[in-house]
Amino acid sequence: RDTSVPGRRGYPGYMYTDLSTIYERAGRVVGRNGSITQLPILTMPNDDITHPIPDLTGYITEGQIYLDRQLHTKGIFPPINVLPSLSRLMKSAIGEGMTRSDHGAV
């Protein structure tokens, strides 16, 4: 019998730790310096961005690009929905000397 404390929607409370361990391990090469860019690709049950797996992945990774099925159906390519997409590094990568002055409004 599983005695672990349930988290959101019945997923185990340790799901965040397990996911972060998997993502962090994917970029590590023993004895070598450097880094790797990882692009985890997830499908969400019923396109639910609040589902625990994509939601926790958003906390672990530095950002998310939300590809929208409805935009794809309308023939909009790439079908990126910018409102639910996020970037934790945006404030470090835009501004004077890095982007045009009108970038924030674009």
Tens of pLDDT along 85-99? Answer: 988 887 887 778 888
The predicted-structure confidence for 37-49, as pLDDT tens digits, reads as follows 788 888 888 889 8
Where does the pLDDT of residue 2 fall: very low under 50, low under 70, confident under 90, or very high at 90 and above? Answer: low
Using CA atoms, how far apart are residues 61 and 42, in angstroms rounded to an integer? 13
Using CA atoms, how far apart are residues 53 and 69, in angstroms rounded to an integer? 18
pTM comes to: 0.67
- For residue 6, list its beta bridge partners: 12
Any catalytic annotation for residue 69? no
Given the residues 1, 9, 88, 100, select the one marked as catalytic. Answer: 88
Long-range contacts of 23-30 (CB under 8 A, 24+ apart): 23/57, 23/60, 23/61
